Amino acid sequence: MSSPESDRSKHWSKAAIASLTLAIAGFFSVGIVVGLFLAAIAAVCGHVARHNAEINDLRGGRVAVTGIVVGYLAMLSFPLWVVIAFGTFPTLRFYGEGRNEIAREASKARVESLYAACEDFARENNNRYPTEWDQLAGRYIPGHELRNLLRSPYTGGAPRACEIVPHDRPVLAAIAESLIVIQEIAPATESQIAVVYADGTVKLIHNPDYQ
Residue 32: per-residue pLDDT: 75
Mean pLDDT over the full length of the chain: 86
Residue 98: per-residue pLDDT: 61
| Domain residue ranges in the chain | 4-89, 106-206
Residue 30: per-residue pLDDT: 74
The answer on pLDDT for 5 being more than 70 is no
Residue 97: per-residue pLDDT: 60
With contact defined as beta carbons under 8 Å apart, do 157 and 103 qualify? Answer: no
Cβ neighbours for 159, distance < 8 A, ≥ 6 positions apart: 147, 150, 151, 152
pLDDT, tens only, 63-100: 989 999 998 998 888 888 777 666 665 554 544 566 77
3-state class (DSSP) for residue 181? strand
Question: What is the DSSP track for 125-178?
Answer: TTT---SSGGGGBTTTB-HHHHHHHHS-SSTT--SS-EEEPP--SSPPTTTTTT
Higher pLDDT among residues 79 and 205, named by residue: 205
Q: Is the pTM of this model over 0.95?
A: no
Residue 1: per-residue pLDDT: 47
Cα–Cα distance, 8 to 65 (Å, whole number): 19
Residue 109: per-residue pLDDT: 94
pLDDT, tens only, 31-60: 677 888 898 999 999 899 888 888 888 888
Higher pLDDT among residues 144 and 11, named by residue: 144
